[in-house]
Amino acid sequence: MAYQLLTLERDEKTAIITLNRAEKRNALNTGLRDEVRAALEELESDDSISVAVITGAGPVFSAGFDTSEFAASSPAAVFAGESARRYHHRLQHFAKPLVAALNGPAMGGGFDIATLCDVRIAAESAAFGHPEVKFGAPALYEPLAAIIGGGIARDLCLSGRRIDAAEALRIGLVSQVVPADQLLDAARAAARTIAEAPLATLTGMKRSMVDSLGWRFEP
């Protein structure tokens, strides 16, 4: 498939999806959400790929859902719409491990991508927050709570406050913080290490991990 709003690269057993709306801070409009879903479906059916990395072009990982789409519908309605539901379902149910290479701020829906990945590696410039609660869009509490625990997750989801990469490392949201120019190398190294295991083992473990959460996005 030819993608307009992201790039997809393969390197042996790993692939890198790069959100490519840098001029819009990689905001997740319907088109980009649909392309992310399509790219994950393509990689899921490719038995030569064991692990996927998601990153962003430019200085921002993703500013979240594109607020220009809120002109016709409320933020909550956009979040609950078919495009958003199918996109979140595909991220959660992607059959292979996902590594987030967080090259800059991951806000709102960008933060949600990070929490729906299995491993998170951040550049020193990364930051996280759910500012969308201030204008009526819900934050994804469940995946965040599964990573950092309910108390801190409630604080971040209800307050919308922003945390930096150092705090993200301290609370266990990310496993590494590296200089920006080392981020993709670190993410590729993590992906290659994971890809050393047989694909059947990885997909079986991933299925078990998703099943253990006890909540699911419906397509």
Which CATH number goes with the domain that contains 63? 3.90.226.10
Q: In this structure, is residue 105 part of a structural domain?
A: yes
CA distance 99 to 88: 16
Q: What global pTM score does this model have?
A: 0.94
Q: In this structure, is residue 14 part of a structural domain?
A: yes
Residue 72 has pLDDT above 70, yes or no: no
| 196 catalytic residue (yes or no) | no
Number of domain units in the chain: 1
Among 69, 82, 124, 132, which one carries the catalytic annotation?
Answer: 132
Range of the domain at 200: 6-213
164-180 in b/e burial notation, b at 16+ Cβ within 10 A? bbeebbebebbebbbee
Residue 218 has pLDDT above 90, yes or no: no
Q: In this structure, is residue 156 part of a structural domain?
A: yes
Q: In this structure, is residue 113 part of a structural domain?
A: yes
Q: How confident is the model at residue 68 (pLDDT cuts 50, 70, 90)?
A: confident
Q: Alpha-carbon torsion 213, 191, 96, 128, what sign?
A: positive
Q: In this structure, is residue 218 part of a structural domain?
A: no
Q: Alpha-carbon torsion 48, 53, 56, 57, what sign?
A: negative
